[in-house]
Structure 1
Amino acid sequence: MTISSSLNAGVAGLNANATRLATISDNIANSSTYGYKRSLAEFESMVISDSRGASTYAAGGVRASTVRLIEERGALVGTSNPLDLAVSGRGMLPVMPAVALGVDMGDVPLMMTTTGAFRADADGVLRTESGLVLLGWPANSDGEIPNFPRDSVSGLEPVVINVNQTAGDPTTRITLGTNLPATDTAAGASGDPRSRTIEYFGNLGTSESLDITFTPVVAATGYSNTWRMEIRDSASNDALIGEYELTFDDSRTSGGTLANVTTVSGGAYDLATGMIDLPVAGGAISLEIGKPGETNGLTQLSDSFAPTNITKDGSPVGNLAAVEVDSNGYILATYDTGFVRRIYQIPLIDVPNVNGLTTMDNQTYKVSPDSGSFFLWDAGDGPTGAISGYAREGSTTDVAAELTSLIQTQRAYSSNAKVIQTVDEMLQETTNIKR
């Protein structure tokens, strides 16, 4: 009966608008929730019959369906915590519930979120107040990230920051820029050696030194432009680890630069790079003395013995001072000696259909058949954006728009209620015909 279908359509309208009211209420309630993605109720008409030229019409009503707009991104809000993280662009941070700590990662479902305020707990595990633990790939001792599978969580592990940790950075490269007096190789010169000591740091953070002695070869007449360089290592009981004969150019175009380096003992001199691999006690150190014809290494000019450019990497043992995350997702530990060490990398998760993810509590999501399979990207690569520290992602709720929708929903609900009231009155009239 047509009048009965009108009643059903009115009830369907009440249900649909009640669903819309629920999404609006949820959106407004979470307007200040970091990382919240707003929900949207969409209405679809239901047609029972639509025969052309039919004398009667049966109302099918309306059906409501909801969708969470996960792909929408909220504005980034700056904070003072370096481990407040947000994703600027596509991609999500891998997390797991704190209650699953100690369980094999293969048995833990992958969860993801777009933002989180992470802090170290008593065990150094980075987690949020709601119990979400940040996951990442651990770095090797040299700071390199191994190759982990990109379509599996097997390489991920909880990020642990030990605030009491100490670390040293062994020296692996030294640049030696020094000017040797040209007058020391002249006929009649004293031939006294010139020496220089360069500190370096061993594998255990100890302070060691290279004692470098330059002895001029005095010419019988004119200038010999030749020196003998000896290098001794304090960590090897001052043993001689390298001896080289240096010849300098005296031409008008390249005067004072290296012309030739002859290895007497020790690591060989590389003509292409200007480097010598010195076999110190803890392992090889690359000593850069410059390439022939260049002025940024050893030179022989005028009558002064002076350093021009002496640099080295490495640092002594230091205490952890700060932890930050860069835009590529690398967690960097900074020590009070100035040494910066890469300890983890946070990948970003991406799926083909972001809106198809299953929504969980605490602004987290899980993979579903509708979302497609996940892939772990380096932040900034492929379709993913960058990771921002000192930032949180704000809610995507527009309160003004939601309040406008609230007014429309209220009016629509009242109109559907009026339809039911009218149908009731018409049925009452039908009943009165018999009286």
Structure 2
Amino acid sequence: MTISSSLNAGVSGLSANASRLASISDNIANSSTRGYKRVQTDFHSMVLSGSGGSYSAGGVRTTNVRLIDERGPLVSTNNATDLAVRGRGMLPVASITEVEAGGSPTMMMTSTGSFRTDSNGYLTTESGLVLMGWPANSDGTVPDYPRDTSSSLEPIHVDLNRLSAVPTTEISLTANLPADSAVVGTTAGPEDQVVTYYDNMGRAEDLTITYTPTGAADNEWTMEIADSASAGAVIAEYTLTFDDSSSTGGTLASVALVTGNAYDATEGSVTVNVASGPIEINIGTIGGNGLQQLGDEFVQNNTTKDGNPVGTFVAVKVNESGEVIATYDSGDERVIYQVPLVDVPNMNGMRALDSQTYMPNDESGDFYLWDAGDGPTSDILGYALEESAVDVATELTDMIQTQRAYSSNAKVIQTVDEMLQETTNIKR
């Protein structure tokens, strides 16, 4: 009966608008929730077939979809491990409860999080989410891991008590030797240059480089390298000859080996073997920069080297490519993990969980782990958080519309009730 279908349509309208009000109230309640993805309610008409000129109202139904691919604005913070994804991709996380219970925690996904090291060294949020990543090798490189499974991901754990020491492997020398001293018949004493290096235990040792005019030819010097770790023994010796022509005067003309390893003319360096391993010492290429011989004064210019003494952990940060970097008070920085970005074909099809986390399912499609910035994914921002994607003004407007639509459907039901009452009164 047509009047009955009107009643059913009014009831379905009440139910549909109640569902829309529920999503609006959820959105407004989470308007200040970091990384919240708003819920959108869509209305769909239901059509019932009619015959003989009669019409039956079908009513309306609703579907709710969480717009996970919709991003909120990014805001700056003062915490290096406040993380947000600038564009497509999600951060892999796990529950701290599952992590502490042992075993393999279930991977979840989120677009932002304020992570800090807890008392056990895990990068966690206040809501109990642990950031996950691939562990790096001891040299900071990250091996190739499978991209279609989360089995290789580990909760990011920073050893708060670990000390760091990086041995010196490269030294660059710059110095000026006095040209007046390298003349046959001139008696001149040696010039010393001391360079501190760090061994593989973080201990500081000294290389003493002694430059002595040979006296056998003009512009010719002997360079001896002594190591304090070997009780001051000479570990390498070379004969240096400098150019005195008008165009390239003062630059290296040749380097001849006496003891040690041969001079590499391409790199402009010699390699010495100390107890902690080889150290490459750059003295300059032939005719190029590095050691030089000009004037009458010995001048030690800037000397640069790598390596660090023993340092304690002070902070951790995540760069744009997802590398988790531990920083030590010695100035040393180590890559300890890499955080990939997770992507699925249908973001909005994922299952929503508490604390702005999501899990892939059949509707979203299988996930894939990308390096941040590769494929369809964007990069990771530190010192940033994603705000809620909710626009309160829009939600309030929708709430007023929903309220009026709800009242209108209630009026339909009231009218149908009055008409049915009239029909009942006919037989009186």
Q: Is the 1:172–1:314 Cα contact (8 Å) retained in structure 2? A: yes
2:43 paired residue number: 43
Question: Quick check: 1:216 aligned with 2:223?
Answer: no
Question: Quick check: 1:32 aligned with 2:50?
Answer: no
Q: Measure, in 1, the Cα distance between the counterparts of 2:369 and 2:230.
A: 47
1:411 paired residue number: 404
Q: Measure, in 1, the Cα distance between the counterparts of 2:252 and 2:132.
A: 52
Q: Measure, in 2, the Cα distance between the counterparts of 1:377 and 1:237.
A: 52
> What does 1:140-151 align with in structure 2 at a 5 Å threshold?
140-151=137-148
Q: Which moved more, 1:160-169 or 1:272-281?
A: 160-169
**Superimposed CA distance per residue, residues 128-156 of structure 1 (whole angstroms, 9 cap, x where no aligned partner):** 12111111122222222222222222221
> What does 1:250-265 align with in structure 2 at a 5 Å threshold?
250-265=244-259
User: Could you list the runs of 5+ residues in structure 2 that have no partner in the other structure?
Assistant: none
Q: Measure, in 2, the Cα distance between the counterparts of 1:155 and 1:283.
A: 33
**Superimposed CA distance per residue, residues 196-246 of structure 1 (whole angstroms, 9 cap, x where no aligned partner):** 111001111100011111121224xxx622212111222223232212121
1:177 paired residue number: 174
Q: Measure, in 2, the Cα distance between the counterparts of 1:154 and 1:225.
A: 65
Q: Measure, in 2, the Cα distance between the counterparts of 1:171 and 1:243.
A: 20
1:339 paired residue number: 332
- SS for the counterpart of 1:405 is helix
**Superimposed CA distance per residue, residues 101-134 of structure 1 (whole angstroms, 9 cap, x where no aligned partner):** 15333xx332011111222222111111211111
Opposite residue 103 of structure 1, the aligned amino acid is G
1:136 paired residue number: 133
Q: Measure, in 1, the Cα distance between the counterparts of 2:197 and 2:126.
A: 44
Opposite residue 195 of structure 1, the aligned amino acid is D
Q: Measure, in 2, the Cα distance between the counterparts of 1:326 and 1:362.
A: 24
Deviation above 6 Å: which 4+ runs of structure 1? none
1:288 paired residue number: 282
Opposite residue 96 of structure 1, the aligned amino acid is A
Opposite residue 163 of structure 1, the aligned amino acid is L
Match of 1:61 among 52, 59, 62: 59
**Structure 1 position 182, deviation (Å):** 1.4
Question: Quick check: 1:95 aligned with 2:97?
Answer: no
Percent identity for Structure 1 against Structure 2: 59
Q: Is the 2:31–2:392 Cα contact (8 Å) retained in structure 1? A: yes
**Structure 1 position 163, deviation (Å):** 2.9
Q: Measure, in 2, the Cα distance between the counterparts of 1:349 and 1:268.
A: 50
- SS for the counterpart of 1:269 is coil
1:239 paired residue number: 233
Q: Is the 1:229–1:243 Cα contact (8 Å) retained in structure 2? A: yes
- SS for the counterpart of 2:240 is strand
Q: Measure, in 2, the Cα distance between the counterparts of 1:83 and 1:283.
A: 36
Q: Measure, in 2, the Cα distance between the counterparts of 1:115 and 1:50.
A: 52
Q: Measure, in 2, the Cα distance between the counterparts of 1:294 and 1:13.
A: 85
Q: Is the 1:191–1:218 Cα contact (8 Å) retained in structure 2? A: no
Q: Measure, in 2, the Cα distance between the counterparts of 1:2 and 1:214.
A: 109
1:249 paired residue number: 243
**Superimposed CA distance per residue, residues 62-103 of structure 1 (whole angstroms, 9 cap, x where no aligned partner):** 110000011111112222322222112211111001121153
Q: Which moved more, 1:17-26 or 1:210-219?
A: 210-219
Q: Is the 2:95–2:106 Cα contact (8 Å) retained in structure 1? A: no
TM-score, normalised to structure 2's length?
0.96
1:166 paired residue number: 163
1:361 paired residue number: 354
**Structure 1 position 342, deviation (Å):** 2.0
TM-score, normalised to structure 1's length?
0.94
- SS for the counterpart of 2:302 is strand
Q: Is the 2:341–2:377 Cα contact (8 Å) retained in structure 1? A: yes
Q: Measure, in 2, the Cα distance between the counterparts of 1:145 and 1:233.
A: 35
Q: Which moved more, 1:250-259 or 1:142-151?
A: 142-151
Match of 2:224 among 226, 230, 236: 230
Opposite residue 149 of structure 2, the aligned amino acid is S
Q: Measure, in 1, the Cα distance between the counterparts of 2:108 and 2:421.
A: 56
**Structure 1 position 50, deviation (Å):** 6.2
Q: Is the 1:110–1:367 Cα contact (8 Å) retained in structure 2? A: no
Opposite residue 55 of structure 2, the aligned amino acid is Y
User: Could you list the runs of 5+ residues in structure 1 that have no partner in the other structure?
Assistant: none
Q: How many residues align?
A: 427
1:104 paired residue number: 103
RMSD (Å), alpha carbons: 1.6
Q: Is the 1:276–1:287 Cα contact (8 Å) retained in structure 2? A: yes
**Structure 1 position 2, deviation (Å):** 1.3
